[in-house]
Structure 1
Amino acid sequence: MLRVTLEQWRMFKAVVEYGGFNQAAKKVHKSQSSIHTAVHKIEQGLGVKLFTVQGRKTQLTEAGEMMLRRANFLLEEAAKVEAVGQTLGEGIESQLRIAVDEIFPQHLLYKVLEQTSNQYPLLRIELMESVLTGGSELLQNTDVDIAISPVVLSDGFSEELCHIEFVAVASPDHALHRYERDLTLEDLKSHRQIVVRDSAIARKKDDGWLGAHQRWTVSHMTTSIDMITKGLGFAWLPIPAIQVLLDTGRLKPLPLLQQSQRKAQLHLIFKDGDRLGPAARAFIGELRYQCMQLEEVM
Structure 2
Amino acid sequence: MAKSTLEQWRMFKAVAEHGGFMQAAESVHKSQSSVHHAVNKMEEQLGVELFEIQGRKTSLTDAGKQLLRRVNYLLAETERFENVAQNLKVGVESTLTVAVDEAFPKPILYQAMEKVSEEYPLVHLEIIETILTGANELLNKGLAQVAVAPFVLDNELSEVICDVEFIAVCGAQHGLAQKNTVTPEDLKSCRQIVLRDSGTEKRIDIGWLGSEQRWTVSHLASSIELIRKGLGFAWLPKPAVQQYLDDGSLVPLALKRGAKRSLPFYLNFEDADSLGPVARSFIGQIRYLSL
TM-score after normalising by structure 1: 0.94
Offset of 1:93 from its aligned partner?
1.2
Alignment of 1:9-158 (within 5 A): 9-155=9-155, 157-158=157-158
Partners of 1:138 and 1:44 lie apart in 2 by 55
Matched AA of 1:242: V
Partners of 1:20 and 1:191 lie apart in 2 by 79
Q: What is residue 289 of structure 2 aligned with on the other side?
A: 290
Matched AA of 2:174: H
Cα 1:157–1:94 shift into 2, 3 Å: farther
Which runs of no fewer than 5 residues in structure 1 stay unpaired?
Answer: 293-298
TM-score after normalising by structure 2: 0.96
Partners of 2:217 and 2:139 lie apart in 1 by 23
Q: What is residue 182 of structure 2 aligned with on the other side?
A: 183
Which runs of no fewer than 5 residues in structure 2 stay unpaired?
Answer: none
SS in structure 1 of the partner of residue 169 of structure 2: strand
Partners of 1:77 and 1:21 lie apart in 2 by 25
Percent of aligned positions that are identical: 54
Task: Note the alpha carbon deviations across 1:224-255, whole angstroms, 9 max, x for none.
Answer: 00111111111111010011111111111111
SS in structure 1 of the partner of residue 223 of structure 2: helix
Alignment of 1:151-166 (within 5 A): 151-155=151-155, 157-166=157-166
Alignment of 1:212-227 (within 5 A): 212-227=211-226
Q: What is residue 238 of structure 2 aligned with on the other side?
A: 239
Offset of 1:161 from its aligned partner?
0.8
Task: Note the alpha carbon deviations across 1:102-143, whole angstroms, 9 max, x for none.
Answer: 001111101101111111112111111110111111111111
Q: What is residue 260 of structure 2 aligned with on the other side?
A: 261
Offset of 1:23 from its aligned partner?
2.5
Task: Note the alpha carbon deviations across 1:157-210, whole angstroms, 9 max, x for none.
Answer: 31001000011111111101222x211111111111111100011111001211
CA contact (8 A) 1:157 1:272 kept: no
RMSD over aligned Cα atoms: 1.4
Task: Note the alpha carbon deviations across 1:46-83, whole angstroms, 9 max, x for none.
Answer: 11100112344322222212322332233222212211
Runs of 4+ in 1 over 6 A off after TM superposition: none
SS in structure 2 of the partner of residue 98 of structure 1: strand
Q: What is residue 202 of structure 1 aligned with on the other side?
A: 201
Offset of 1:2 from its aligned partner?
4.0
Partners of 1:145 and 1:156 lie apart in 2 by 17
Partners of 1:107 and 1:58 lie apart in 2 by 53
Partners of 1:194 and 1:57 lie apart in 2 by 73
How many pairs were matched up? 291
CA contact (8 A) 1:156 1:272 kept: no
Between stretches 46-55 and 167-176, larger displacement belongs to 46-55
Partners of 1:93 and 1:218 lie apart in 2 by 34
Between stretches 18-27 and 282-291, larger displacement belongs to 18-27
Partners of 1:177 and 1:87 lie apart in 2 by 55
Partners of 2:231 and 2:138 lie apart in 1 by 32
Matched AA of 2:234: A
Offset of 1:217 from its aligned partner?
0.4
Partners of 1:142 and 1:162 lie apart in 2 by 24
CA contact (8 A) 1:156 1:269 kept: no
Offset of 1:156 from its aligned partner?
6.1
Partners of 1:157 and 1:135 lie apart in 2 by 15
Matched AA of 1:155: N
CA contact (8 A) 1:157 1:273 kept: no
